[in-house]
Amino acid sequence: MSSNFRLVALLAVLWTELPAQDRPNFVVILSDDQSWVGSSAAMDPADPRSRSDYFKTPGLERLARRGMTFTDGYAPAPFCCPTRRSLQVGQTPARHLYQQDQQNWPAAYRRQLNIPKLLKAADARYKLAHFGKWDHRFDRPLPAEMGYDLSDGDTGNGTGGGKGSGGPAASSDPKLIDHITGRACRFLEDQAATGGPFYLQISHYAVHLDIFYRQATFDLVRPWKAGKKHYFPPFAAMTADMDASVGKVLDKIDELGLDRNTYIFFLSDNGGRATLPGAGDPPMPRNHPLRGAKGSMYEGGIRVPFLVAGPGIKAGSVNRTPVTGLDILPTLADLAGYPDDLPTTVDGGSLRGVLRGGTAVSRQRDFLVFHQSVSRRAQSAIRRGSWKLVKTWAQDEVELFDLGADTGEANNLVRERPAIARELHQALVGFLSDVGAEARRTQD
């Protein structure tokens, strides 16, 4: 046995025998359908357009002051379910939800390394909880089946007041925010009492439609001055209620002294909606300055609020590195001391370096891919550096944008920069072919 091998083996043993209180804890807060500009926390402090001109979200502002804001944070997909499945396994939906091998992908999904398996392999003392919207659909794997110790079970949009349940209207527990927050805080109290490491995912039903809110919040919001892109009091009240939950969770973490060793991630499952029932058409698009909305591969559909706070992360810092929800699983592996190499099918990379001020994430490939097809409009996007290419399959249309100079994707540079467009298109098509993704040219 070589001396290097013995050293690695010794370090692995020492890491495994760390006291439970020295293992990091993780809290992931996932909002639903929240726009990159859907809060009063600027997602790019250098650009005042990157915050809402109406909503007030002191909880998210507080989290941003406490940690790092990622200006270029992405959801894995522009829709709910594919993002939620992808977060658990660190894989793009192109590998599962939009597979050519539709018959066998559900079973394959269940076999993947996921967050519970990973953390329990790092330390069997990890306890995991998922409260709120699970929304895995299709073959409906349950949180317990995936390895969670506690959960709300097989929940979806309808559980928390989804489309078709009414509203806008006042509610005693709008979008089950009290239920979710209460269970989360009790879980934190139990873990603080036992001293065991934990992973807690709080998956809100807000701000997905339908719109429900506290009457007291609505009364508080109603006098606010309307903005040009945001101005609808019912939606502002629902947003404020969800944000209050963020503040309560932060309060509980601090109260219990868990802040010393707890990483907190906040992101949305996809971009904001373009329309709201009863709100009319705004003078300015709701996701301005971004183009597009939920369901689209333009920035408005996939760029989302993305905040991380925790040990060693500089308070109030800003990072412009493109990151994605797929990076959460590899980051947990890195921070918790997962003992094995990650599978090559994991598409994310560890954020440990960028959380310490670095500017690069090491992934299997040097680009981010977004893809949907089958039951959705067949569209894909690839981002490498500041360059982004969008392909709409039904029209065989390719667009190229320089996000560094054109956040709003207004200028298609495919003719001006054909070599870059060709290179990105080849990388995109090659990746989709490698993973066996379905890319049917479905009609819009």
pLDDT range class, residue 442, cuts 50, 70, 90: low
**pLDDT for the residue numbered 103:** 78
pLDDT for 290-326, tens place per residue? 999 999 999 999 999 999 999 999 999 999 999 999 9
Are residues 379 and 322 located together in one domain of the fold? no
Arithmetic mean of pLDDT, 100-119: 89
Res 16: pLDDT: 45
Please give the share of the chain, as a percent, with pLDDT higher than 70: 94
Say yes or no to pLDDT of 18 above 80.
no
Same domain, 376 and 344: no
Whether residue 328 sits in one domain with residue 430? no
* Claim to verify: residue 340 and residue 388 sit in the same structural domain: no
In the chain, the number of structural domains is 2
Q: Look at residue 18 and tell me if it is in a domain.
A: no
CATH code assigned at 378: 3.30.1120.10
Range of the domain at 377: 368-434
Torsion, Cα 371 372 373 378, to 10 degrees, reads -70
Q: Based on the domain organization, do 261 and 315 belong to the same domain?
A: yes
- Let me know if residue 287 belongs to a domain: yes
Do you find a cis peptide bond into 234, omega within 30 degrees of 0?
no
Q: Give mean pLDDT, residues 430-435.
A: 96
Residue 19 pLDDT > 90: no
* Together in a domain, 424 and 329: no
pTM: 0.94
The mean pLDDT of 201-217, rounded to a whole number, is: 98
The pLDDT of residue 5 = 37
pLDDT value of residue 64: 98
* Two structure tokens written together for 109: 């999904």
Query: Is residue 316, in this structure, part of any structural domain at all?
Result: yes
In a domain, 363, yes or no: no
Q: Is residue 110 part of a domain?
A: yes
- The C-alpha angle 348, 375, 325, rounded to 5 degrees, equals 20
> What's residue 107's pLDDT?
85
Count of beta carbons in the 10 Å neighbourhood of residue 141: 18
Of 68, 51, 46, the residue nearest 311 (C-alpha): 68
pLDDT at 20: 55
Domain co-membership, 303 together with 181: yes
Whether 158 and 219 map to the same domain: the answer is yes
Where is 63: in which H helix or E strand?
Answer: helix 58-66
Q: Which of 321, 355, 389 is the last residue of a domain?
A: 355
Strands (E), 60-170: 68-70, 73-74, 127-132, 150-151, 169-170
9 within a domain of the structure (yes/no): no
257 and 297 assigned to the same domain: yes
- C-alpha 88/C-alpha 325 separation (Å) is 10
pLDDT in tens, 285-296: 999 999 999 999
Section 383-388 average pLDDT: 98
Provide the CATH number for the domain around residue 321. Answer: 3.40.720.10
Do residues 348 and 394 both lie within one domain?
A: no
